[in-house]
Amino acid sequence: MGGRRKFGVSKPVLNKIKAFIFGLSDAMLRIPQKELREPLYVNKNNKGKSIQKGKGKGKAYLTADAISLSLLRLKTWSAVSDQFGYESHVHGEAAVAAALVACIRYCSPEDDIFIATPHRVQREAVRSALGRLKIPQPDNPLEKSFGKLSITDGLENVTVDTIERLQGSSEASFVICLFSLPDSYLNDLGFLLERRRLNVAISRAKNLCVLVTSSQVLCPPVTVFSNEQTAKGFAFLKAYEDRAWSCDLSVNIDDV
């Protein structure tokens, strides 16, 4: 397993999250990329931010589009068994959160990060994953990232807690929201699709929110809509999905 890890994170997971982050960067700079799906709706009032590229004669100006909403559609699987429980899925989800922290910390070492979890078991899994994390300290250009890097703990200003405990807290530059379920697991749908809970988690982000969810949550059975509050929560979630840059993420839980 040691050879399958980098910076304390599963290499396959880390590589996929790196591609996701670079995809967001390219999208902001309007560089063609194939990693992410464009949102269905784009904020027409977003005028972007002027970024100078190069110095002196021949310098060019790029316009960066701010991206504040992103979404990862997580699917966990196992080569060992077709059947695995919620706890195994949670460990896969936690590995994704740890990889996101590593990448965000590399790009923005001073900014604060919230990781919002609906359940305590998710909180403990993420804290365990972060305990194994070694954050890369940038000493090379971004294009050479995750090559030869120095290592630092780098977990200052990273908060992991349940959504109820984060309610009323100040905002963070980056928020990672964990709202995913394994295939064929329906027990928590009503709990996850509560509009207030979703809103509290997502609204904590000042710069970027990364919502980690799954097809079970995004495409629930129609019986879910018999509850008015759950239906409102689902509508809120779909509105977020329609406005977020997104990609699919497959994670082998045997690797984490």
State mean pLDDT over 87-94: 96
Mean pLDDT estimate for the chain: 85
Q: What domains does the chain contain, in order, with CATH numbers?
A: 2-255 (3.40.50.300)
What is the pairing mode between strands 135-137 and 113-117? Answer: unpaired
| d(C-alpha 97, C-alpha 134), whole Å | 14
What is the pLDDT confidence band of residue 233, given thresholds at 50, 70 and 90?
A: very high
Per the CB < 8 A criterion, the answer to whether 27 and 67 are in contact is yes
Indicate whether 204 pLDDT > 50.
yes
Indicate whether 153 pLDDT > 60.
no
Indicate whether 161 pLDDT > 90.
yes
Q: pLDDT tens-digit profile of 27-80?
A: 999 999 999 999 998 765 554 444 444 444 444 445 567 899 999 999 999 998
**pLDDT at residue number 196:** 94
State mean pLDDT over 236-251: 97
3-state SS, residue 62: strand
Phi-psi domain of 168 (left: phi exceeds 0; alpha: psi -120 through 50; beta: other):
left
What is the pLDDT confidence band of residue 135, given thresholds at 50, 70 and 90?
A: confident
